Structure 1
Amino acid sequence: MNTDAAQTSSRTEADVSRAREALKQHALTLARQWQALTVEGWNPAHGRGIQLAARQIVKASERLRLSLSRKAAELEEALRLFVETADAPESDQLAHLSGLISMLSSSALEVDLAPLQPDPAPARPQAPSGDAIAAARVVRRLGLVGLPESLTEPLAALAREQQLDLRILDNPQALEHETELPSALLFGASLIEPAAQLKRMINDSAGRLAQVHLALISDRRDLGRRLVANQLGLSFFEPPLDTAVLVESLGLTQGTTGGSKILLLDSDRNRGIEQAHWLQAEGCTVRLVMSTDELAVAFGEFRPNLVIVDNDLPVDEGLAAVQAVREWPGGLHLPIVVAGSSRDLRRREGAISAGADEYLIRPVRPRHLASVVSSRLDRARRWTARHAADAAAGKGLLVRSSFLQRLRQWTPRREAGVLFVTLDGADSLRRELGLAHLQAVDQLVTEHLAPTLGAADLLGQFQDFCYLVAAERTERHELMVLGEALRQSLEKVRGVLAGKRCELRCSVGVAPLKIEQIEQSVDQARAAALAAQNLGGNRSLAYDEGSNALKPAGREARAGAVLARPEEQPATMLGQPLLPVSARVAGQFLLTPCWPSAQNDQSALSYADVVKLGGDPRRLLMLDRRLILQALDLRANQLAKGRQLRLLLELHPGQLAHASFMPWLAAELKRRKLSGSGLALVLPSSLLVDHLEGLKSVTDSLHRLGVRVALGDFGRDLAAVPRLKLANVDLVLLAPEAVRSDGGQIEESALCGLIRRAQDANVQVVAREVERRDALASVERLGVDYVLSNTIAAPSTEFDFDFRGWTG
């Protein structure tokens, strides 16, 4: 027996020794990775290495039961954002990372644990004796039993805000010495057994202890204990903590269960607590925060019914907080009250413009604050009830006058639009069904349109077989998506009216909504819908205010969706071979990304289509990076098949201004074990005129990675031609209109001049759209290096062109 114990002890010491050595090795790796990063600058590869080392430290620390695991997990989480998005951290973020890494490295390297002896079996926690509990008097108090410090501090703050007495106990046995039993007891998750024993005592007390509420709380997610707690009938709380639910579960709301929840942002804690007490006296549950960062966290956890914002925060942070609340999910129509010390009318107007519903001038009296809060909450409840009723199936269709009246009272805070829905073939429907069945048609249409709409959207009838929708979304393209969704919802209708089977089709017009010009907005949407109907129907068109033109709404919706979520909609890569003429390098393809439509009657989206909607440079940046990754993966797959391809990919010039692009590209090439020579990035020739120095710098950086640089549409801007020799580029793609006459013939004099300029700069020339044999002979005679020809080799997804069989 002693031999077995000795062997167990030996194995335990060996395990600890190995874990300790592994921890130190991971700490050394962490320090080396950080040192390399500080020397070479930030790049995702080093960031990923640091993140991996931090993850290993978490595991090793947990095995050794060290508190380092929490800080290592914090470091891993902080790095996740920069590794996954390829964004470079700012100087203050780097300083924070540096502090975490220094602390972790030094602590892990200096760890000196005492020789491990087998731990004595921990004392099993016991519940207090039944006699002690029976003798105690129940008082309104919050008791925290066996909670870690990470939970004690926020719960103590909650007790102060709720005007609760607080009692902190180390273990359940301490309750035996209490003459007054807290009405709310919150046990640490590890004390689930004593909590269950105490609950049984309460159940056996014949109602004398019915006022005592028990719950368990954990500082991390714990599914196992949550399931056990549910079986025992105990409430279980874990991060993120909803304090309002916690207060209600423990019976601490003093009869205000189900009352309104107020989120109060005030930089003055004493003033905030005082106002919280006023509102609690009115039956509200209040959550107090003191900064905009705390506001952002609390908003998601607390889900308030009203927000009060301090307008005396520095640098207009209060107004920024109001605007942020309006952008957050659920905040669009939430009542917001702003309180400030300034009596300046401009401050009040600024708060209202930012999205506030009310502005209070300090000092605020309790009765005034309660009155304003009550009024705004009542108004919000009426608004919610009205719109919930409008959204219900069969009840959502407003008559035209009510719709327009409601629209005039609307205050959209985002991109708003009017959508006009008209049924195709209305005359034939009227003849077949008759006037008696118009109401049935309206009901059928409403049943299919209403589920597509949001709770705040309006649905009304314009006239027979014509309907109006008012909606607001975060971005314009989402209105186009809604228009397509409405059209498709009616396209699926297969109903029976007047004893006859009917299939509905509709045309949809979308126009921007201007509250001061509602009738004009409706007319524009109607014109777009009628135009869609005249084009054959069953389609949607959008009125573009900038160009006064009608554009396919479905196409814009698709392009906007690609920009918003490029990772969810990968491009189809078409490759067109560069046919060697004067040059002899084979295996080169010009990549053309496209996004085919799921519907046969819609053409594929091109890269140019998507870029036209690229108002947000960050989204274009993410799209371009996704395309580059697809190109690299394509080349890697072809290499695995034994094909050595060189790919040319068009790139938006804004990408190159981002400081993280070059490190990101280098890391992706290294991760895939690819050389940069298989990739060429095509930039616009206009950079020769507008940003020559930037182009030269970018070209040098790309060449260091082995990546070639090409300029597209060369010759379109004659001012760029003489500057070609100043930039060290590798290829130029000629603009078709620069070397071709109106009749389609090759302008040999113009082509000869461009080729001469390129040859002087030691740049290879690619001619596009060379479709005829005589044109091919001309460009070959003049010295063009490669040609692109749809007739000879059209773009394809196969990349299997036989360059050996190409004779030129």
Structure 2
Amino acid sequence: MSFAANERPSSGSAARSGAQARAEYPPSGYWRRWCGDASPPTEALTTAPPEAEAAVAPAPKVVPTEQGEPPYRVLIVEDDRSQALFAQGVLRGAGMEAEVVPLASDTMSMLARLQPDLVLMDLHMPGMSGTELTAQIRSDVAYAHIPVVFLTGDTDPESHLEVLDSGADDYLSKPVRPRHLIAAVQNRVRRARALKQQREQEVRRHPTTGLLTRTFMLQQLTQAFPTQTVGAVHFVVIEGTSALRDHYGYAALDAVLSEAGRLIGEVSGERPAARLNDNTFVVYWPGLPPDRHMLWARQLRDTFTGRQLQIGSDTLRLRACVGYVDLAHGFSDAGAALAAAEEALRAARNDPVGIAAYRPPSEAVSEHAANLLSQLQEALKNERLELAFQPIVSVVGGDHEQYQTLVRLRDGSGQLHTAAEIVPLAERAGLVHEIDRRVMSRAIAILGEQPVGGRRARLFVPQSARSLGQEGYAHWLLDSLKKLDIAGDLLVVDVRLSEAQLHSMIVREFCQQMMAAGVRLCLSQFQSNPEADALLSQLPLSYVRLSSHYAHKIDQQAVQDEMKLLIERAHQLGLQVIGQHVEDPQTAATLWLSGIDFIQGDLVQRANQSMDFDFQHSLL
């Protein structure tokens, strides 16, 4: 095997003046680098003999196509030392980073360390052929797209076909001219980097709307906090989508929302924007001055004003609401900023103008909240959050035990604070996911401690929709259940309606992962409206827990009628309905007459730290 190591110019002054400056012509005495008294390989490849330094101009460098792009990295797999050193010298002389691995068996570990742009290898090597090594490289998804170029002195066309069939991208016949080697490597790497960048762009942006993907958008926001304190995050929700879905179908609605996303992308320009949910979008504008936050919110809302969109032969106009948060309020992480923007969006949907800004609590309240938040952070650090349990009892009787799990915080004076007090603080401070994980861990541990042969209680565990969408969270939950051999149907994940409306896509994806294990979903704080009613059929629910609105106003006939229709609709979909905040027999009786399945409240038993309710002998 040999490269054209001593190729010389034929004649002429041009050849004499320019030949030695070209990378393909090694300096005089280069052959001595392989003699027994030569310097070590690394030094030999970086230091030319004195006479060569005087006579030879520096080799031309490969200039990457993008300014600031890192040098091309090449891994040379070659058992012949002289061949490997010569190829390494040629590529380094052209401005590339080149490393040699003499044993094919060491290639995979070197790939992981070097992360090269291209692998240059010999076809015939001891222990493992080049085609076998290529197949091994291609079997690893991390290197499925890395270019592999062979150097082979084999002139048999069948061998060349075998090389390409193994997954290689190209082959060069030996002896190869150095300039041909440089050109082949350079062109392959440039093309591979361009394709890699294109693949990354495809992953980062939706092909139809051009908006960032939800995952990439959340990554961008995560990197921005807590240092980003100038600018705004705007949430945009398209109203009336449930009625559109019912009338035109899901496919038509999705096409309209994709068009809405395209319009938001047009008006947002280079500013990061993404579709967070079926009908909810987020736009992040770092550096936006405070006096322009409202103007930008109006521009986003008015994106759809006067725009006529088509569904079949029908023309329609969309209405949007916008909630936004000024980052000057200071947020520890992206989750806290998004929670504030969600709070503003909820206010916007109840505002005639359809726009609302996040309003932090008053100073007096903030002082109390800051103290409570400090105690919450300390409780998380020292594992001092407490759980309380409240029975959920069937109105027709039965001995199956099931409890609502409630989180509690005990402050320094011994006073217990409910989830209603601490969760809003946790959302603003970006602590919700940490609380959710702690509560879920404790609940799973309790389920795992139950006797296998006896009655086993079912636990309803509240979780934030954003927690369900955290990377790896679903896998962790399923793995935790599997390790303790817990039946999935003993766990019910409880999600608030307001969060499910904003993050229905996240909830749906999470449930799809849970269904095989039998884990169930409950939609809580449910109050009937077109958007909420649509979720009953869109999400794989098992339970619906009514809002306290129904228990508190159950003496009003209109509320009773609304509740009966809601229960009937849920039963038609195969869902069971829970009435909560039941505090007196009259409310319980009215709920029973309305067809409710379960009741929960102080009438049955106040929440406490024990799970000792007698389901078998309870009478309602």
Fold in common (TM above 0.5):
no
Q: TM-score, normalised by structure 2?
A: 0.40
Q: TM-score, normalised by structure 1?
A: 0.31
| Bigger RCO of structures 1 and 2 (CA < 8 A, at least 6 apart) | 2
